[in-house]
Amino acid sequence: MIRMTDPWNFPQCRLCAKTSYPSRSVAKSRARTIPGENIHSYPCPHGNGYHIGHIPAKVKSGAISPDDYALWKHSRAVAPSRRPPAIVRHLDELESRGVIDEIGPLLAGIVAQLRNRYGIGPAWNEALGMLPGDLIDQVTTPIDSWHGKTTTWQSASKAELMIRLRYDGWVYFTREPRSLNVGPRYNPS
């Protein structure tokens, strides 16, 4: 067992390069010791505990909620290095052929059914696994020029698909587990 002599000696998140605190309360306690205003704690977008940082101006002014800001920041706007260009181009092509627009209402219907049945949102893989095989295979099957791992393609392409479906209004989710829900564009009739 490792004893910490410094109570703030926590490991760093390798993906964010920020200190990872084990809980929100520990992160809040640490934030209170830092001089300055508008410092808050927030969940690591990669699931590595909690970080602390300044409150963005849009959140402080109330123009956007903290959860919506985090989703925006870690989806389309910031993280291009985590979105392999080959996958982005592939999904762009599928979008131009109308495949994404075909998947959107189907997935929203599946999410609605699963939420009604179990009273909680499904995991992404549960909902995507219920799509017709020919549709989801178009997204998750690596293109010929892909030289990376198949599992990397599959997980990154599913994430890119879900981000696009959220952006298009078919589904909605936050960073919370099982928060997947139908979006404002879904019409059950």
The phi-psi region of residue 176 (left if phi > 0; otherwise alpha if psi is between -120 and 50; otherwise beta) is beta
d(CA 89, CA 92): 5
Name residue, tokens 């994430």: 159
167: helix, strand or coil = helix
- Here the tokens at position 178 are 């099982």
- Here the tokens at position 163 are 């981000």
pLDDT at residue 104 in the model: 95
pLDDT at residue 116 in the model: 93
Residue 78 reports pLDDT greater than 70: no
Instruction: Output phi, psi for 69, to 5 deg.
Output: -65, -45
Residue 135 reports pLDDT greater than 50: yes
1 vs 126: which has the higher pLDDT? 126
d(CA 112, CA 186): 9
As a whole number, mean pLDDT of residues 5-32 equals 77
Picking from 171, 80, 155, 157, the residue whose alpha carbon sits closest to that of residue 121 is 171
Residue 68 reports pLDDT greater than 80: no
The Cα diameter of the chain in Å comes to 61
Name the pLDDT band for 67 (thresholds 50, 70, 90). low
pLDDT at residue 98 in the model: 94
pLDDT at residue 7 in the model: 58
Residue 167 reports pLDDT greater than 50: yes
As a whole number, mean pLDDT of residues 119-133 equals 93
162 vs 6: which has the higher pLDDT? 162
Amino acid at 44: C
d(CA 128, CA 75): 19
Residue 66 reports pLDDT greater than 50: yes
Least confident of 65-79, 94-108, 151-165: 65-79
Least confident of 63-67, 77-81, 142-146, 154-158: 77-81
pLDDT at residue 118 in the model: 92
CB of 162 closer than 8 Å to CB of 124: yes
